[in-house]
Every structure is written in C-alpha cells, then in structure tokens.
Amino acid sequence: MSDLISVSVIGKSSLDLATSLNLTSSPLEGADLAIFIVSAVDGIVRADIDSWLFAREMYIPSIVVISETDNADLDFDDMTAIASKMLDPVATRYLVLHGDAGDPTALIDLTTLKILDYSSGVVQEIESDAEHKELVGEYVMEYQELLEQSGDDGFTRGLLFPALPWIKSSRLGLDQIVELINLIPTGS
C-alpha cells in the first residue's frame, strides 16, 4: 500500500482497522481518502455523520466499512441499507455469504461472480454456481447502474461510496479495502 496518500480512518475500531492495514490514520482535514467504519452493533454515531458531511463537502473519496456483523443481529445487507439512508447511497460490489452456522465466511464479487471463501483461513477464489448467479442478478444490475451514474472514476472523485464488510478475526474484506486504497492517486 502506498505511503504517499493520507488516509483518515473514522469510527469504532478505527485503530484496529488502521493497524490491520498497516497505516497511520490521519486527520480528515487534508486526507486523500476517508474510511468510515459502521458497526453493526452500535450503528452510526452523530460525530461520524458530521465527519461524513465534511468529507462530502471536500469530495474526499470515502469507503464505508461495515464491521461487527459476526457479533450482531444485523447483517451486511441491513447495515448497507442503514448507511445508504443515514450517509449517502453506497455501492456494494461484494455480497457476504454465510456458512452453515450463519457466520460470514465468503464474499461474492458482483463484477466477476467469483466467490472469495475465507472459511479455511486462507482466501480461496472459486467459481459461483448457477444458483448464486441467479440470486445476485438484481444486485449486479444495481451495482452496474451506480457505476454508470458516477462514471469509471466516481470513487476517486468522491462521488461513489463503496461499502465493504470487514471481519477482523477472518480478515474478510481486508484485501478489498486495500484494493480501493490503491486506486487513490498519489500526490492528490
């Protein structure tokens, strides 16, 4: 990950996420990127909404990271709906798949329809089956519409707000956060 950009990590567990990403969180003022953590246990607090509004005024590219879905009654889909109402509409490129015990174990990429399975501790990329493809069809169209509305560079211009899950214990979602961080131009 580039040390040439300034990243502000905001919300509950911000220090944990910054440590997992091997970065030092910067103040929001002057940041090249903002990562807003939304806890499925605690929701969105007023101070984070105020920071979100500041980031929107400054067109700071922003990622919404949904955390603690492994410890809450609300899941990733529930929390992205809440974030879309309380912040701005978010774009979900990945959907969370659950194991037999109901815990989040994998992601399905809506652009490739591949499954990223975290259940063994090592991420495995596998083809999705016909049932998965049918179930996510509506989400694929919704995601593509958001991309068309914001343009190819909507995220880096601060117009498209990706929402990603993050499960600290399994590292689910961490690679996808890094992928977005790496899209931010250096020296902006």
Domains annotated on the chain, with CATH: 7-181 (3.40.50.300)
For the chain, strand residue ranges (E) read 7-10, 33-39, 62-67, 94-98, 104-109, 114-117, 124-127, 163-166
Show pLDDT as tens, one digit a residue, over the chain (188 residues).
Answer: 556 899 999 999 999 999 999 999 999 999 999 999 999 999 999 999 999 999 999 999 999 999 998 887 889 999 999 999 999 999 999 999 998 888 899 999 999 999 999 998 889 999 999 999 999 999 999 999 999 999 989 999 999 999 999 999 899 999 999 999 999 998 64
Of 12, 13, 49, 57, the C-alpha closest to 31 is: 57
Instruction: Please state, in angstroms and rounded to a whole number, the distance separating the CA atoms of residues 16 and 137.
Output: 34
Instruction: Please state, in angstroms and rounded to a whole number, the distance separating the CA atoms of residues 94 and 165.
Output: 8
Instruction: Please state, in angstroms and rounded to a whole number, the distance separating the CA atoms of residues 163 and 166.
Output: 10
Cβ atoms of 143 and 31 within 8 Å: the answer is no
